[in-house]
Amino acid sequence: MADNEVATRAPESDAQETPQKEAEGSAIPGDTKAQEGPSMGEHCVTDRPTPSGEVPTGELTKLGDVDVYIAKPSDYPHAPSKLLLLLTGGTGMQSKNNQLQADKYASEGYLVVMPDQFAGNPAPTIAIDEPENKDFSWLESSKLKIAEAAKSFRIDMWLAYHTPEKVLPLLHKVIEAAKEEFADAIANGGGIYGVGYCFGARYILILAGEHSDTALWGQEQPKDEEQGGAKKEPLLKVGAVAHPTMVTKDELEAVKAPVYIAAVKDDSLFSEEDVLTPGRRTLEKNTVEHEVKVFEGVPHGFAVYGDYDDAKIKQDQAQAFAEMLGWIQSH
């Protein structure tokens, strides 16, 4: 296992700047405290600017009656390919940046299936206009705080709807349909590969795990397993994820397929103390092949395709893609 860790605090998101004093306990301007309960940051629901001149080349279609974006290598089906399931953050399948991300993997020889895991209901995006004058009055500051609270509430309500009970059956339908539609690619790769970002990273880890609740996989629970019987084996051959959100310790500990994790130092949405560290100990105990890279000085969401002015974020974004690609290529 390779493990490169650094000890510098990273901002929660470059888009989450507070108008007055910084959040209590923060070491970097713009950093925010972790919210109680499941939530996502600005990075998970808002795209970065799309690099100039880039246009997606894949197609929107359906698999298992679920909307999907499919990106194919230029020489497929004349040359063999491998099937890659790509799961996005809250901006979803219709995001041009996510489509371009799928195209990047397709250009490396993968047949990429990116499903609409939100059933036409991506995370709400609410624009909040800050006053041009940064010397906020009490009234302006209060209005801004109310707007931020309303936005957070809408996102939390959206998350309360898009639970594993809703998302996993959709993914199961897509996987089952892909087994028929792209049997050649799955056979060529010896299984299904998976990559995920933010919200979608959690589900790649779940699909890479061994679980007993088959109802969550789009199947009825057998009567003899109602009390917690045989476990469902991983649906993925290998997985690579970047800055997961809302992952539980149990979900990470259930992983059985080889997995690469690109994490962000001091990420309140993927706690190193509560989730990552105990999860890694279990992966090591279970001799599950894994690699963890912790990036410093970048916002959660940095690995999602999109343009940044900061040269370091651009460099680390490219590095995360190269390492995630290299991980799945090596398996």
Q: Tell me the per-residue pLDDT of 29-45, one tens digit each, with 9 for 90 and over.
A: 233 333 344 455 566 66
Q: Is the model's pLDDT at 58 over the cut of 70?
A: yes
Percent of the chain past pLDDT 70, that is, above it, reads 71
Lowest mean pLDDT among 103-117, 145-159, 215-229, 266-280: 215-229
pTM: 0.79
* pLDDT averaged over every residue in the chain: 80
Q: Which amino acid is at 84?
A: L
Alpha carbons 84 and 76: distance in angstroms, whole number: 14
| Range 141-163 average pLDDT | 62
pLDDT at position 280, please? 93
151 by Cβ neighbours in 10 Å (0-12 / 13-18 / 19+) ranks as: middle
Alpha carbons 151 and 291: distance in angstroms, whole number: 35
Per residue in 61-118, pLDDT (tens digit) is 999 999 999 999 999 999 999 999 999 998 899 999 999 999 999 999 999 999 999 9
Contacts of 208 (CB under 8 A, 6+ apart): 194, 234, 235, 236, 238, 239, 255, 256, 257, 259
pLDDT at position 163, please? 86
CATH topology of domain 3-8+39-329: Rossmann fold (3.40.50)
Strand partners, 60: 69
Per residue in 283-316, pLDDT (tens digit) is 999 999 999 999 999 998 999 999 999 999 999 9
pLDDT at position 35, please? 36
